[in-house]
Chains A and B, each alone.
Chain A
Amino acid sequence: MRAALWIAARELRVRLRDRSALVVGVIAPIGLALIISFATGGDGAPFQAVAGLVDEDGGEIAKAFATDVLGSDDVAQVFEVRALASRDEAVAGLENGAIDVAIVLAPELETITILRAPRAGIAGEVAASIAGNFAAQLAGVGQAVGLTVMTSMFGADAFGDDGPSFDAFSGARVEEVELAELDVEALAEEVADAELSIVLEDASAGESGLGSAAYYGPGMAMLFVFFLLGAAPRSLLAEARDGTLARVRAAPIPVAAIVLGKGLATALLGLVAMLVVWGVTVSVFGQSWGDPVGVLALLIAFVLAALAITTLVSVYARSASQADGYVSIVAFVLAMLGGNFLFLGDLPEALQTVARWTPNGWAMQGFVTLTADGGGVASVGAPILAILAFAAAAFLAALPGLRRWTEA
């Protein structure tokens, strides 16, 4: 392990001294963030949109969604919610620009449809994320509802000093006093029957162009981190060519220490670069990426996946320049498919499905979730696990090539 640390320290020193890491990891992403800010007309104001709510169901769950989810403080920072009478009114509002997105709760809550103007792709993504989170946690709600029914029958004291809570309910805390206002028996019945699906629809024509550094910031950071991390396997190839790898391997240290040391140093550089982009986005543009712990967890997972993928595509290259080419292609393809350049919601449905097969797509979903509902690290558990799965799969696939490389 000590050898790996010495190798990591040496790698960092070399990378920082030749300035390439500074340019690719810090200057380029910040420059791009500035360009994006100007290109999207960003003035540093945080993301805000107007959402219309069409409640065609009128049941207790729908009411709870309107008041406790959309009405929560976190969502209020993102959406100004307006109640609308019908889907037609929502479409009209989208077309005349009165609203950016509409959430339609279908009768019997069979679906939640997100209608959005194409110009407001991010608003659609955010609304879909909120609705998705709501649907995913209905099971938890069912449990809470059961508890509430019991509470109404036996009193809160029977379940401890704090009584029951709706914490699992989309992160919005519902006080006991509010619970009492709900028809809990009807709610319990509805939850048992509910099986929600989320539909995202473009509902009006309109000019695209509305964007936000809160979306593109992480997107661009992801793109650049690929180039930064691609330097690790490339430098291993260069060391094999220059003879330093042979000299290091002649030392009484395990080969794994070499790979670990290089990986550690490069992952650290990649993480720092992404943190810098995050910091600049927050401090200069005033754009929050959401819960810091969740953001950090997503960034770490993504850096590991990008490192594994760049290693995978590089170890089967025949030269450093070929490895560079492979990394560039993969970085751009994943960025394009994963929604780093375009809002995921603006992509055709097939491509939205493909995005699920990229770590970038999962990461973008995670960042939208964090930005949208103010959830913590738990709200991005699925994206993080998916990204780590990409990392593990890519690393395992790279192992045979890596072994051949280090022994060449």
Chain B
Amino acid sequence: MPDPLFRCHGLRKRFGSSVAVDDVGFEIAEGEAYGLLGPNGAGKTTTISMVCGLLEADGGEVTLGGERLIDAPARVKARIGYVPQEIALYPDLTARENLTFFGRLYGLGGRALQSRIGEVLELVDLAGRADDRVSTYSGGMKRRINIAAGLLHRPSLLVLDEPTVGVDPHSRNAILERVAELNRDGMALLYTSHYMEEVERLCDRIGILDGGRMIAEGTRRELVDRLDRADRVELEVDGAAAAVAEGLAALDEVDRVQAADRHVTVLARGARRLLPRMLELAERHGAEVTSAQVIEPDLEAVFLHLTGKALRD
């Protein structure tokens, strides 16, 4: 296998007595899309901050194109495009002024910069609003220009930290389309999200983070195969969900159960055949099942299998 474009290993970060990231490592090949999946607080943003040189790691190493971040921070940073979770733009400046400012920080200038600004504005469909202040944009437009600012210097690796948070479904789809297009054009991606479907849609390989540790890594297929053909069952119950979950956990076919409010998530082999028994058991516990859904193995089920928790806890 050729040398990867990006590599990090043994990354550690501690804040006081709390360990945010513990021994995290992964590689990204040229043109590959790598997803970091995990619930809020799993360590995704801390990992990305260390990858982008925003946070000094307590241990471990980051390399891009064979150069260590610690040895050549400016050269490594110049090859990374960073799209933070927040709308990291100046609202009182226009889109063009924002892009001009960030482009200059990457050493761009003159006609080359203006031409590149035109290109990225076209890419995110905002050329017509280039001279409007960002404060007048809708949430989706702000997200798109937020991504555009990370593309100006044609990075080798685009790092996107939850770029669709708080965006309506239509804008979200548009953003994912653009990101996929960039990846198809050869740009490597490091994409973090707690939306499993985004990571499944975009990423070639996926790392699952929980409690600051990388608990699994592989392609979607490889991860799902870990489930041993277990399906995920989502139950909505009117009654004691916790008692129902406790009863379900006693069944041999059930791998994991997790209850939250009126919602019970079950990971079980032969789930379709097991469903009538589940409904019966719920009734015995004085709860009525108002909705039941059997879902094919997916990353949500993988996460439940690995951690005993739902991804969106």
Q: Could you tell me if A242 and B93 are in contact, using CB atoms closer than 8 angstroms?
A: no
Which of B22-30, B101-109, B224-232, B300-308 is found at the contact surface with chain A?
B101-109
Contact mask for chain A residues 1-29; partner B; CB cutoff 8 A; 1 contact, 0 none: 00100100010011001100000000000
Residues of A within 8 A of B88 (CB): 242-244, 246-247
- Taking residues whose C-beta sits less than 8 angstroms from the other chain, chain B's interface range is 20 to 34
Residues of A within 8 A of B240 (CB): none
B55 interface residue per 8 A CB criterion: yes
Q: When the two chains form their complex, are residues B52 and A250 in contact, meaning their CB atoms are under 8 A apart?
A: yes
Give Cα A3 to B101, complex, Å.
10
Asked if A249 is at the interface (CB within 8 A of a chain B CB), the reply is: yes
B101 in contact with A252 (CB, 8 Å): no
| Residue A186, interface by CB 8 Å | no
- Selected contact of B77 from candidates A6, A13, A252, CB within 8 Å: A252
Most buried by A among B75, B80, B104, B149: B104
Within 8 Å CB of B54, what residues of A? 246, 249-250, 407
- Nearest chain B CB to A12's CB is how many angstroms away? 12
Q: Give the shortest distance, in Å, between A245 (CB) and chain B (any CB).
A: 8
Closest residue of B by beta carbon distance from A2: B104
| A251 located at the interface, meaning its Cβ lies under 8 Å from any Cβ of chain B in the complex | yes
Q: Is B82's CB within 8 Å of the partner chain A?
A: yes
Q: Which chain B residue shows the least CB distance to A251?
A: B105
Contact B97 A13 (CB under 8 A): yes
Cα-based distance from A281 to B78 in the complex (angstroms): 50
Give CA–CA (A244, B101) in the complex, Å. 11
A250 touches B93 (CB 8 A): no
Interface flags for A232-272 (1: CB within 8 Å of B; 0: not) read 00000000001110111111110000000000000000000
B280 close to chain A: CB less than 8 A:
no
User: CA–CA, A244 to B85, complex, Å?
Assistant: 11
Report which of A10, A13, A242, A250 forms a contact with B82, defined as CB distance below 8 A.
Answer: A250
Q: Whole-angstrom distance between the alpha carbons of A269 and B84 in the complex?
A: 30
Find out whether the CB atom of A6 lies under 8 angstroms from the CB atom of B101.
Answer: yes
User: Which A residue sits closest to B92, measured CB to CB?
Assistant: A17
Q: Please, which residue of chain B has its CB at the minimum distance from the CB of A5?
A: B104
Q: List the A side residues contacting B92 at CB < 8 Å.
A: 14, 17-18
Task: Tell me whether A243 and B84 are in contact in the complex, defined as CB-CB below 8 angstroms, given that A6-B105, A13-B97 are known contacts.
Answer: yes
A10, A246, A249, most chain B CB atoms within 10 A: A246
Q: Is the beta-carbon distance between A247 and B107 smaller than 8 angstroms?
A: no
How far is the CB of B163 from the nearest CB of chain A, in Å? 12
B105 near A244 with CB under 8 A, answer no
Q: Are B49 and A246 in contact (CB under 8 A)?
A: yes
Number of chain A residues close to chain B: CB under 8 A: 19
Asked if B253 lies at the interface with its beta carbon under 8 angstroms from chain A, I say no
Q: Closest CB-CB distance, A252 to chain B, in whole Å? A: 4
Residues from chain A with Cβ under 8 Å of B74 in the complex: 252-253
On whether A407 and B77 interact (CB within 8 A), knowing A243-B84, A244-B89, A246-B49, the answer reads: no
Smallest CB separation, A211 vs chain B (Å): 40
Are B89 and A252 in contact (CB-based, < 8 A)? Answer: no
Q: Is the CB of A252 within 8 A of B107?
A: yes
Asked if A13 and B105 sit within 8 Å, CB to CB, the answer is no
- Using Cβ atoms and an 8 Å threshold, which residues of chain A touch B78? 252
Q: Min CB distance, A243 to chain B, in Å?
A: 3
Cβ of A243 and Cβ of B105 under 8 Å apart?
no
B186 near A: Cβ within 8 Å?
no
Asked if B296 is at the interface of the complex by the 8 Å CB criterion, the answer is no
**How far is B54's CA from A253's CA once the two chains are assembled, in angstroms?**
12
Residues in B lying within 8 Å of A, measured CB to CB: 49, 52-56, 73-75, 77-78, 80, 82, 84-90, 92-93, 97, 101-102, 104-107, 149
A residues near B (Cβ < 8 Å) are 3, 6, 10, 13-14, 17-18, 242-244, 246-253, 407
**What are some 30 contacts across the A-B interface (CB < 8 A)?**
A3-B104, A3-B105, A6-B104, A10-B93, A10-B101, A13-B97, A14-B93, A17-B92, A18-B92, A242-B86, A242-B87, A242-B88, A243-B85, A243-B87, A244-B88, A246-B86, A247-B102, A248-B102, A249-B53, A249-B54, A250-B80, A250-B82, A250-B84, A251-B77, A251-B102, A251-B105, A252-B73, A252-B75, A407-B55, A407-B56
* 5 nearest A-B residue pairs (beta carbon): A243-B86, A243-B88, A251-B105, A252-B74, A250-B82
